[in-house]
Copies of this chain bind each other. A is one copy, B any other.
């Protein structure tokens, strides 16, 4: 079967190619009569535009690349889900890449080598640092997800990581805990997020007048469960082990919970735990995990919108969008059964504006 093109439609409708194009794109003006004839032909022949040709001509593709470290990490999977949704709402499709934390992969994406023409790139950088990013000049629009790298040269969208960490830590302190540990500091890499969360943790301790014990800060290689489990094990070896832990993400927290369970420690009675990300599992693990919940939908929508804004008008000043987060209090700090109702505390930047209610706090 030969592909149907504008030519075929035009000849069937007895008009010129241009007129068909006008109808398809709602450009120019066409009399209702002609339009109807063309539309009939369009439908009859089941015309569908060749997007490659359109893009070649227009120089844009309707495609947005999203580059995330790994889809197997629930946080990124959930984010990807929102990004795909947000892009679709704007009439764009998402080309998905996994960088797997490889600098090379991130760079290749930035270079745009062997990629179709893109309307933009949403990148969650893990390996690349500011200088590497800055090398990228006059390419398609770029939005960074998560903490920006170095000074604000690029559009980026994030939560207030420092405030979030402080909120989490303050919550633990508010429970009367005084040996509050942190899991997630990073020894290597340009991970600004870890730095900010550490800063927030320290801020909260200072604000509460609690002495800061450097032994309580556990570093990790990656933000994965095994790292959290190992870090927790190390913390428990301390002469004076912690009675609470703030984990820099939920995966670390879940790993820590596993260690606590294996050691027979009660959560939250012996050790209270807070994470960050509010992945779905946080709601369902036993005990369910108290966590900082970023507004993922807002994150995704903001990223896509920034991208398209950039695409529309080049040379705009880089913009930072900070989306709200809230503290979802669950069993690892509340101790009570969520059937009794978990309280969600809406937080900055717009305290009081809770992004979305938790529909299923309890299975």
Q: Which residues of A contact B (CB under 8 A)?
A: 1, 48-53, 55-56, 61-63, 70-72, 74, 77-78, 80-81, 84-85, 88, 93-98, 111-117, 138, 225-226, 228-230, 254-255, 257-259, 261-262, 280-281, 284-286, 337, 360, 363
Other 19 A-B pairs with CB < 8 A, given A55-B116, A95-B96, A255-B363:
A48-B112, A50-B56, A51-B115, A52-B116, A63-B116, A71-B71, A71-B77, A71-B80, A72-B81, A72-B280, A77-B77, A84-B96, A85-B98, A93-B95, A93-B116, A230-B363, A257-B286, A258-B284, A262-B337
Residue of B nearest to A286 (CB): B261
A259 to B362 alpha-carbon distance, docked (Å): 10
Given contacts A71-B71, A84-B71, contact A51 B116 (CB under 8 A): yes
A281: chain B residues within 8 A (beta carbon): 281
Give the Cβ gap from A273 to chain B, nearest Cβ, in Å.
13
A259 to B258 alpha-carbon distance, docked (Å): 19
Give the Cβ gap from A81 to chain B, nearest Cβ, in Å.
4
Give the Cβ gap from A216 to chain B, nearest Cβ, in Å.
21
- The answer to whether B284 and A225 touch across the interface, beta carbons within 8 angstroms, is yes
Give the Cβ gap from A230 to chain B, nearest Cβ, in Å.
7
- The answer to whether B259 and A363 touch across the interface, beta carbons within 8 angstroms, is yes
Give the Cβ gap from A334 to chain B, nearest Cβ, in Å.
15
A117: chain B residues within 8 A (beta carbon): 50-52
Give the Cβ gap from A39 to chain B, nearest Cβ, in Å.
15
Given contacts A284-B255, A363-B225, A363-B226, contact A80 B61 (CB under 8 A): no
A104 to B286 alpha-carbon distance, docked (Å): 37
- The answer to whether B78 and A72 touch across the interface, beta carbons within 8 angstroms, is yes
A77: chain B residues within 8 A (beta carbon): 71-72, 74, 77, 80
A230: chain B residues within 8 A (beta carbon): 363
Give the Cβ gap from A331 to chain B, nearest Cβ, in Å.
11
A339 to B78 alpha-carbon distance, docked (Å): 31
Give the Cβ gap from A245 to chain B, nearest Cβ, in Å.
15
A81, A98, A117, A254: residue with the most chain B Cβ atoms closer than 10 Å = A81
Given contacts A77-B71, A95-B63, A96-B84, contact A258 B229 (CB under 8 A): no
Residue of B nearest to A233 (CB): B363
Give the Cβ gap from A93 to chain B, nearest Cβ, in Å.
6
A284: chain B residues within 8 A (beta carbon): 225, 254-255, 258
A360 to B225 alpha-carbon distance, docked (Å): 10
A317 to B262 alpha-carbon distance, docked (Å): 53
Give the Cβ gap from A330 to chain B, nearest Cβ, in Å.
13
| Sample (29) of A-B pairs whose CB atoms are under 8 Å apart | A48-B113, A48-B114, A50-B117, A51-B115, A51-B116, A52-B116, A61-B116, A62-B116, A63-B116, A71-B71, A71-B78, A71-B80, A71-B81, A72-B78, A74-B74, A77-B77, A84-B96, A93-B115, A94-B95, A94-B96, A95-B95, A229-B363, A230-B363, A258-B284, A258-B363, A259-B363, A262-B286, A281-B281, A286-B286
Give the Cβ gap from A162 to chain B, nearest Cβ, in Å.
28
A74: chain B residues within 8 A (beta carbon): 72, 74, 77
